[in-house]
Structure 1
Amino acid sequence: MYLQSMTTFVLVHGAWYGGWCWRDVAPPLRAAGHEVLTPTLTGLGERASEFREDIGLRTHVENVVDLLRRADLRDVVLVGHSYAGLVVREAADREPERIARLTLVDAWAGRDGESIDSLAPEFFRNWVESITTDGAIPVPPAPSVGVTEPDQVAWLESRLTPQPRRTFSEPTRLTGAVEAIPCRAVLCTPPGPMPFGELARGFGWKTVELESGHDAMTGAPAQLARILLDDA
């Protein structure tokens, strides 16, 4: 008789989202016998009442580090979507002994001192600046992340919440420890205007393509779950 070993997945959402976005991704992972945690970062999702202008990347890194430490998690597959690529890489850099591997889903990835502001195309930075009010970036329309089916649009747009502007400007702090952790990048295809593929290739990571809009959790959850199960 063979016993399947259990993996702990920590799935971290991107900007404007919350832990709710993994609704259709987590069940297949749990059905395969794995533990799945889907934290919501400070000021977002069901924690929107905690919004403050001083919430930055470091706040969200601390969210993930605190979870890893409080639950004493080990051999974790740490997954970050979009903005959370920066979050999970810094958290892994802080706690490398707890992380078995990283999976970045159509995600930003930077080196020490870089931020979304420094990595993003000029048009995106200009758009963010033009709409930011009182330290908050308003919710983008669902089609901008590749979600166009009416029921999915309604579901998504009823749950998205404004993103603290500082999370895009605060630079990541890395010692280099994260670079020793195996990492794979899931690239949604056809690619959009953001340099996710270029960033992943710049780090030399293995990549896998997923036919989906940027919001793969909504548009292709079963396919994304199958890819994540390869990391278990």
Structure 2
Amino acid sequence: MSDIGSITRRAALGGAILGGGAAALGDSNALAQADARKTFVLIHGAYHGGWCWRKVVDILEKRGQKVYAPSLTGLADRSHLLSMSLTLETHITDISNLFKWDEIKDACLVPHSYGGWPASGALEQIGDRVTSIVWLDAFMPKDGERSTEMISEFSRKALVEAMAKGEPGRRPPKASQFSISEKDYEWMDSKLTAQPNSITDNPIKLTGALQKVPKKTFIRAPKYPQAAFDRAYAECKADPSWTTYVVENSHHDVMIDQPEWLADILMKHS
């Protein structure tokens, strides 16, 4: 009886030791996962909002990543703040303040389209907090340039019409201008909001912070014609410090048309 008891005690002791080891291993794995966890800050383009990243956010969060997808002032869930007083600096501050107040560090900054303007400006302030960037079919302005010099013909016409009426924002185009995912058109059309007019004429002030980011990727979606994106893609492709991609099976809104592919690219290059 005592032998059985002693064996049971030894087994129990061994189990406790093994259990402790398993717990330690579990803690170690948890720490490793925490160390491997990445932070992404996704910046939308004109007429859009944080909502456009929903599919990508869901995918990345399911993979254990931390993701921010804010809406810039005057758009989407912040469309009630649309006014003539908004400037490019407002959107730059939206991004830099997010980094500062949420103490974001070692992040991958991912601007889409117009988002390349405020993201470029924000990097002048928060470049030391960003370890990688993925420019998604986005503007890559040079010092002193204005977005009004590069906007599409539709946006230019809408801007002139809105300014003539004294309106603070210009009407958005239909979803079909951005996406090939027809099943998402109704959802997108219900979300697209006016783009602030007053931000287009502000020259951007840059000193080259963007080029100092260690890991840089540019993605071009050629189904969306935009000479400024073609210029940026060509410059990045010729620069060995950049990785470049061309995505043929998507329109401009790659985050909506090809979310899984995009999430994979973000994980790979962050």
C-alpha change, 1:194 and 1:158, in structure 2 (3 Å) is: farther
With 52-61 and 75-84 compared, the bigger mean Cα shift is at: 52-61
1:176 aligns with 2:208: yes
With 165-174 and 31-40 compared, the bigger mean Cα shift is at: 165-174
1:197 aligns with 2:230: yes
Which deviations, in whole Å up to 9, do the C-alpha atoms of 1:83-129 show, x marking residues without a partner?
001111111121111000111111011111112222346x4564244
Counterparts of 2:78 and 2:150 in 1: how far apart (Å)? Answer: 27
TM-fit CA distance, 1:8: 0.6
TM-fit CA distance, 1:15: 0.7
Corresponding pairs, count = 230
Q: Pick one of 119, 122, 132 that aligns with 2:162.
A: 132
Give the 5 Å matches for 1:96-135: 96-120=127-151, 123=153, 126-133=156-163, 134-135=167-168
Q: 1:230 corresponds to which residue? A: 268
Counterparts of 2:197 and 2:143 in 1: how far apart (Å)? Answer: 20
Runs of 5+ in structure 2 lacking a partner? 1-27
Counterparts of 1:125 and 1:42 in 2: how far apart (Å)? Answer: 19
C-alpha change, 1:40 and 1:34, in structure 2 (3 Å) is: same
Q: Pick one of 152, 171, 179 that aligns with 1:146.
A: 179
Contact 2:137 2:218 in 1 (8 A): yes
Question: 2:251 aligns to what SS in structure 1?
Answer: coil
By relative contact order (CA 8 Å, sep 6+), the higher-ranking structure is 1
Identity %: 30
Contact 1:56 1:170 in 2 (8 A): yes
Contact 1:77 1:100 in 2 (8 A): yes
1:164 aligns with 2:196: yes
Higher helix share: 2
Counterparts of 1:170 and 1:94 in 2: how far apart (Å)? Answer: 18
Counterparts of 2:226 and 2:71 in 1: how far apart (Å)? Answer: 27
Question: 2:55 aligns to what SS in structure 1?
Answer: coil
Give the 5 Å matches for 1:11-160: 11-120=42-151, 123=153, 126-133=156-163, 134-147=167-180, 149=182, 151-160=183-192
TM-score (norm 2): 0.79
C-alpha change, 1:125 and 1:17, in structure 2 (3 Å) is: closer
The amino acid across from 1:222 in the alignment is: E
TM-fit CA distance, 1:158: 0.3
Runs of 5+ in structure 1 lacking a partner? none
C-alpha change, 1:183 and 1:132, in structure 2 (3 Å) is: farther
Counterparts of 1:197 and 1:225 in 2: how far apart (Å)? Answer: 23
Q: CA RMSD in A?
A: 1.9
